[in-house]
Amino acid sequence: MVWVYTVVMMMIEPTTNAKTFIVFSPNTAFISEKSCQEWREIDMLRLYNSRPSETAKAVSQCFPFPFNVDKGT
């Protein structure tokens, strides 16, 4: 089992040539739920602090993905 951290971001205001922003938000995989949740907490704080406006929102979740990483082939 692997745990996948996924982020969804949204803005109410449209972006334009004069108003743009860049967000670094990679989806990441972890081998334990604990490590995924620890990263989620750190990353959500970073996303909150770097949001382009007060109305920008980010939602994240760690979810299990059945993938055999425990056994050799």
**Residue 69, CB-side half-sphere exposure with 13 Å CA sphere:** 11
pLDDT in tens, 40-50: 999 999 888 88
Count of residues in the chain: 73
Residue 59 has pLDDT above 70, yes or no: yes
The beta strands (E) that lie in 12-73 are given as: 28-30, 57-65
pLDDT at 21 > cutoff 80 = no
Per-residue model confidence (pLDDT) at position 34: 97
47 to 3, 22, 57: CA distances (angstroms): 20, 11, 9
Give the mean pLDDT of the chain. 83
Bridge partners, residue 71, by sequence: none
Which pTM value belongs to this model? 0.72
